[in-house]
Amino acid sequence: MSDLEQWRIPMLPRAEWTDRAREVFAFWGEPNAWEEGSRTNILMVMANHPDLGDATNAFGKHILVTNTTPLRCRELLTMRVAWLTKSEYEWHNHVGYCLNLGMSVDEILAIKEGASAACWNAEDRAVLSAVDELLTTHDLSDGTWAALSAFYNRQQLMDFVVTVGHYVNTAWTIKAFRMPLESHADQIDWDLKTASGRPPGVTLKPGETEDWADKRGYD
């Protein structure tokens, strides 16, 4: 199946790049995005619907940048959501974030096994168990809530639940829109093998450094 056959919602054609659309795909400060478009597919897709794109960006900034959950917790839950929803796009994009936090390849691979893997501490197990429970029961039991509460305060618990929901929604959006991974990305598979054969590398979040856009896991 070709890329043109995959896209249900296409990247916004250049002839339709209004200022409102440009605000969507230039939101994260990617160099030259206003003039040339973003190199990130989801931003170019969301630009088809600027009101929705604006809302998605604003919420996404909280999830990615101002979220109160600890960074390790956030990446564990995101990668577990990616595995459970089989979101190749989310998995690819968050492997580099995990590596940037100092997580080992073995730890990242163990996310697929879940809370039962031997490498996890009590906090990690609480995080992974809670993600599984949310996706299977759409709720958290009192016991699971208590396990999380041993590590996180009220705001962090709120962010935890909403962050899981955000990445489930993102996985649905990407899959239902039939949006492929960027063609210029060195795709990372479920076993952390890259298309090029190179080891996966660290990637940076928007604004993390001045050259963050050059370190996004793209060729």
3-state secondary structure of 218: strand
- Mean pLDDT, rounded, for 49-73: 96
Which pLDDT score is estimated for 206?
76
Q: Is the pLDDT of residue 129 over 90?
A: yes
- Cβ(135)–Cβ(168) below 8 Å: yes
Spatial separation of the C-alpha atoms in residues 112 and 115, rounded to whole Å: 9
- Exposed/middle/buried for residue 194 (C-beta within 10 Å: 0-12, 13-18, 19+): middle
Domain ranges of the chain: 3-64, 70-176
User: Virtual CA dihedral for 105, 109, 115, 118, nearest 10 degrees?
Assistant: -60
Of residues 96 and 215, the one with the higher pLDDT is 96
Q: Is the pLDDT of residue 219 over 60?
A: no
3-state secondary structure of 188: strand
Of 63-72, 77-86, 206-215, the least confident? 206-215
* C-alpha to C-alpha distances, 20 to 24, 37, 51, nearest whole angstrom: 7, 13, 9
Q: Vertex 7, ends 60 and 26: CA angle to 5°?
A: 35
Which pLDDT score is estimated for 205?
76
Q: Is the pLDDT of residue 2 over 60?
A: no
Which pLDDT score is estimated for 201?
87
The answer to pTM > 0.85 is yes
Give me the CATH code for the 70-176 domain, please. 1.20.1290.10
Q: Is the pLDDT of residue 113 over 80?
A: yes
Which pLDDT score is estimated for 214?
66
Of 21-35, 153-167, 201-215, the least confident? 201-215
pLDDT confidence tier of residue 212, bands split at 50, 70 and 90: low
How confident is the prediction for the chain on average, in pLDDT?
92
Percent of the chain with pLDDT over 90: 84
